C-alpha cells in the first residue's frame, strides 16, 4: 500500500519531471528574452481546487525594487537548508541561469544592474491582473492574504491602513491572518476587522485575560469548492507582544499554540474537511517545525520571514509554500482533492514583473485615488543615492547604515540601534530618494527616535538577546526578524554559541576602544517596544539627514564579523 507520504513524494518528483511547478518554464523562456505576461501566467489547470497566496505586502501599492538577502543563515537542523541558501548557491540549487529574470527576482547578486534591465516588481494593480487571470481559469479560486498587509507606507500610516483595506477589498480575498496590523492598536484593528467582507483568522489569537480564543478572530473557516470541503486555519504571528509593543494591543495573547492547532485540525477533519490549509504568519522555519509536530495539515501558506521559493518544501506530510513579500510574488496552487484526501498538486510562484504584467485598470485607478491626496508629500525629492540602498539580510544593509548614520548625527549619539525588520524596499544607484522611499523603510506606529544612555553591559545584553531570537537552534524560539542594526558599534558574533556568549569584541568605532561594560554610552535608536518612548519620528530624522547630505554615499562596512557559519 502506498502511504500518503510516498504518494506526495511521487507527486513531487513527477511534478519536477513534467516541469509542473511552472518555475523551470518561465526561467527558460526568460533567458531567451521572451518574457511575456502570457508566459508568466501560463498554467495548466489541475485538480479541482485552486489557492492563491499573497503575503507580507507591507502596504506596497506601487511597484518597487526589492533586493533579496545575501546573508540568511540557517541554524540547527536548518543549517544549509532552504530558504537559508542565497545568491549563486541558490541559483545552482534551482537551476537558475545567472542574469535571468529568476536570478533577479529570487536571489541576490548583480542586483543594481539587473534591476535596470528587469525593472520594478509588484504593484497591487499587477497583482490584480494575475488574480483575475487565475479566476478566469478557476472562478472559485480561494485568495488568501497572509498578513503584514496594513503596514509599511506613508499612505498606510496617514490613513491608518484604510488605503490598504480599500485596495485589498477590491481584490476580494477570502481570508486573512495578521501581524503588523496589530500595531495599529486594538481599537483600530477591531474597527477594520469588523468591516471586512472576508474571514479574519487566527487560531492562536487569544484573549489575554482569560486565555480563551478571541471572539473577533475565528480559528478557521470552510470553503466548498470543486465538490470537496476545504478548511483554512489561520495562524497569526506568534510573538506579537514581544517583537512589537504589546501595550498597543493588551487585550490579546498569541503564541504558537501547536496543541490548539492540532485540536483545530482534528475538529475540521471531524466536520468533513478533506483538505486542511494553514494560512500562516509563523515564519518559514517555525512552519517547518509545526508541520512535523501537528499532523493532518496538507498545505501551509507561509509568511513572515519574506522568503520566496520556486517550489514547495515538504515537511512531514505537509507542503509549505513561502510566497515572498512586498507584492513581488503571487503563488497559485492547484490541488486534486478526492476520496477524503489530497492526491496531488501543481503550483507556480508567479513573479510580478511590473513592466511585463499589465496593471488592472480598475485597481490602478483605485490606488491612484488613495494616493492622490498625499501625492505632493509622497513624491517630494529629498536627495539622491549614489549606491544601492537595501535592508534585507541577517546583518546591516546599506539602508540601515544610512538610518544609523542619521541617528548618530541628528541625535548626537555615540551608538545607534536600528531594528532588524525584514521589510523596506531597495533603491538603486543614482535614484532620487523621495519622502515615500524614506517612509517605506521607517513607517510604523511607534517610530519615535529615542536618545538614552546604556552601559556596555546592557548593550551586550541587547545584542545577545536579539541574536538568540534569530540564531536559537530551535525554530520555536526564533521570532523571524534579523539582527539589530548597529551604528558606531562593531562586534563579532559566533552564531553557534549559546545565548550570552555569541557576542564578543564589541568596539566603540569612533574611538577604536573596546566597549567598557561599566561605562555609559549615549545611544539613539527607534522602534522601542516600551510605552512612553519619546523623541522625533525616525522618518523626520532620516529626512533631515539626507537633505543635509544632498547625495548620499553609504560606504561599505565590515563592522560586524560573523563566524560559526
Interface with other proteins by CB under 8 A: which residues? 56, 148, 179-180, 208, 211, 237, 239-244, 246, 253-256, 259, 283, 304-306, 419-423, 450, 452, 457-458, 461-462, 465-466, 468-469, 474, 476-477, 479-482, 484, 499-500, 525, 527-533
Q: Give the nearest distance from C-beta 471 to other proteins in angstroms.
A: 13
Q: What angle do CA 381, 386, 389 make, to 5 degrees?
A: 80
Grid cell locating 292: 512535523
Grid cell locating 254: 498569541
Dist. CA 82–CA 105, nearest whole Å: 16
Q: Give the nearest distance from C-beta 79 to other proteins in angstroms.
A: 20
Nearest-10 crossing angle of helices 258-270, 284-293: 60
Q: Give the nearest distance from C-beta 477 to other proteins in angstroms.
A: 6
Grid cell locating 434: 523621495
Return the number of the residue (255 or 429) whose C-beta is nearest other proteins: 255
Q: Give the nearest distance from C-beta 551 to other proteins in angstroms.
A: 30
Residue-level length of the chain? 565
**3-class DSSP state for residue 544?**
helix
Return the number of the residue (223 or 254) whose C-beta is nearest other proteins: 254
Return the number of the residue (49 or 286) whose C-beta is nearest other proteins: 286
Listed in sequence order, the residues at least 6 apart from 516 whose beta carbon sits closer than 8 Å to its beta carbon are 456
Q: Give the nearest distance from C-beta 85 to other proteins in angstroms.
A: 19
Q: Give the nearest distance from C-beta 310 to other proteins in angstroms.
A: 21
Q: Give the nearest distance from C-beta 73 to other proteins in angstroms.
A: 15
Q: Give the nearest distance from C-beta 549 to other proteins in angstroms.
A: 27
Measuring CA to CA, how many Å separate 71 from each of 88, 562, 565? 12, 10, 10
Grid cell locating 246: 504589546
Q: Give the nearest distance from C-beta 537 to other proteins in angstroms.
A: 15
Grid cell locating 375: 501625492
Return the number of the residue (119 or 255) whose C-beta is nearest other proteins: 255
Return the number of the residue (438 or 459) whose C-beta is nearest other proteins: 459
Return the number of the residue (305 or 354) whose C-beta is nearest other proteins: 305
Query: Which class for 64: exposed (0-12), middle (13-18), buried (19 or more C-beta within 10 A)?
Result: buried
Find out whether the peptide bond into 83 is cis, omega within 30 degrees of 0.
yes
Dist. CA 132–CA 554, nearest whole Å: 42
Return the number of the residue (380 or 474) whose C-beta is nearest other proteins: 474
Return the number of the residue (468 or 494) whose C-beta is nearest other proteins: 468
Chain centre to alpha carbon of residue 127: 16
Return the number of the residue (245 or 310) whose C-beta is nearest other proteins: 245
**Cβ–Cβ under 8 Å, residues 404 and 486:** yes
Listed in sequence order, the residues at least 6 apart from 217 whose beta carbon sits closer than 8 Å to its beta carbon are 178, 193, 200, 201, 202, 205, 234, 236
Amino acid at each position: 500500500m502506498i502511504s500518503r507520504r510516498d504518494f506526495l513524494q511521487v507527486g513531487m518528483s513527477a511534478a519536477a519531471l513534467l516541469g509542473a511547478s511552472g518555475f523551470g518554464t518561465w526561467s527558460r523562456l526568460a533567458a531567451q528574452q521572451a518574457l511575456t505576461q502570457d508566459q508568466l501566467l501560463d498554467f495548466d489547470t489541475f485538480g479541482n481546487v485552486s489557492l492563491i497566496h499573497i503575503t507580507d505586502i507591507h502596504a506596497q501599492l506601487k511597484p518597487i525594487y526589492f533586493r533579496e538577502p545575501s546573508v540568511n543563515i540557517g541554524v540547527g537542523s536548518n543549517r544549509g537548508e532552504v530558504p537559508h541558501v542565497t545568491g549563486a548557491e541558490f541559483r545552482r540549487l534551482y537551476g537558475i541561469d545567472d542574469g535571468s529574470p529568476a536570478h533577479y527576482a529570487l536571489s541576490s547578486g548583480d542586483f543594481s544592474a539587473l534591476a535596470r534591465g528587469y525593472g520594478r516588481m509588484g504593484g497591487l494593480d499587477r497583482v490584480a491582473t494575475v488574480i483575475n487571470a487565475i479566476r478566469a481559469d478557476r472562478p472559485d479560486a480561494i485568495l488568501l492574504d497572509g498578513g503584514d498587509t496594513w503596514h509599511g507606507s506613508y499612505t498606510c500610516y496617514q490613513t491608518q491602513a484604510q488605503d490598504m483595506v480599500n485596495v485589498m477589498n477590491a481584490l476580494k480575498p477570502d481570508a486573512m491572518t495578521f501581524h503588523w496590523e496589530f500595531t495599529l492598536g486594538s481599537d483600530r484593528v477591531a474597527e477594520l476587522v469588523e468591516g471586512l467582507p472576508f474571514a479574519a483568522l487566527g487560531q492562536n489569537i487569544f484573549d489575554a485575560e482569560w486565555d480563551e480564543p478571541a471572539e473577533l478572530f475565528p480559528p478557521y473557516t470552510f470553503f466548498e469548492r470543486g465538490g470537496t470541503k476545504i478548511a483554512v486555519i489561520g495562524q497569526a504571528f506568534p510573538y506579537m507582544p514581544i517583537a512589537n509593543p504589546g501595550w498597543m494591543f493588551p487585550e490579546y495573547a498569541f503564541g504558537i499554540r501547536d496543541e490548539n492547532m492540532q485540536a483545530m485540525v482534528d475538529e475540521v477533519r471531524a466536520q468533513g474537511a478533506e483538505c486542511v490549509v494553514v494560512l500562516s504568519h509563523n515564519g518559514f522555519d517555525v512552519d517547518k517545525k509545526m508541520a512535523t509536530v501537528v499532523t493532518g495539515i496538507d498545505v501551509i501558506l507561509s509568511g513572515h520571514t519574506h522568503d520566496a521559493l520556486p517550489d514547495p518544501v515538504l515537511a512531514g506530510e505537509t507542503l509549505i509554500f513561502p510566497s515572498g513579500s512586498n507584492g513581488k510574488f503571487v503563488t497559485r496552487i492547484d490541488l486534486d482533492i478526492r476520496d477524503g484526501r489530497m492526491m496531488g498538486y501543481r503550483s507556480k510562484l508567479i513573479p510580478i514583473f511590473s513592466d511585463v504584467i499589465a496593471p488592472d485598470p480598475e485597481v490602478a485607478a483605485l490606488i491612484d485615488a488613495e494616493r492622490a491626496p498625499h501625492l505632493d508629500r509622497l513624491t517630494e525629492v529629498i536627495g539622491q543615492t549614489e549606491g544601492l540602498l537595501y535592508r534585507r539580510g541577517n546583518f546591516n544593509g546599506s539602508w540601515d547604515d544610512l538610518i544609523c548614520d542619521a541617528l548618530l548625527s541628528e541625535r548626537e549619539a555615540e551608538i545607534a540601534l536600528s531594528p532588524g525588520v525584514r521589510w523596506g524596499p531597495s533603491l538603486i544607484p543614482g535614484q532620487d530618494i523621495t519622502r515615500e522611499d524614506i517612509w517605506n523603510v521607517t513607517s510604523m506606529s511607534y517610530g519615535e527616535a529615542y536618545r538614552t544612555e546604556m552601559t556596555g553591559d546592557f548593550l551586550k545584553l541587547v545584542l545577545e538577546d536579539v541574536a538568540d531570537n534569530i540564531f536559537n537552534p530551535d525554530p520555536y524560539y526564533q521570532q523571524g526578524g534579523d539582527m539589530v542594526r548597529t551604528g558606531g558599534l562593531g562586534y563579532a558574533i559566533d552564531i553557534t554559541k549559546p545565548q550570552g556568549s555569541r557576542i564578543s569584541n564589541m568596539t566603540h568605532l569612533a574611538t577604536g576602544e573596546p566597549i567598557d561594560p561599566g561605562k555609559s554610552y549615549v545611544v539613539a535608536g527607534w522602534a522601542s517596544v516600551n510605552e512612553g518612548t519619546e523623541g522625533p519620528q525616525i522618518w523626520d530624522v532620516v529626512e533631515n539627514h539626507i537633505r543635509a547630505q544632498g547625495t548620499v554615499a553609504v560606504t561599505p562596512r565590515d563592522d560586524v564579523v560573523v563566524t560559526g557559519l
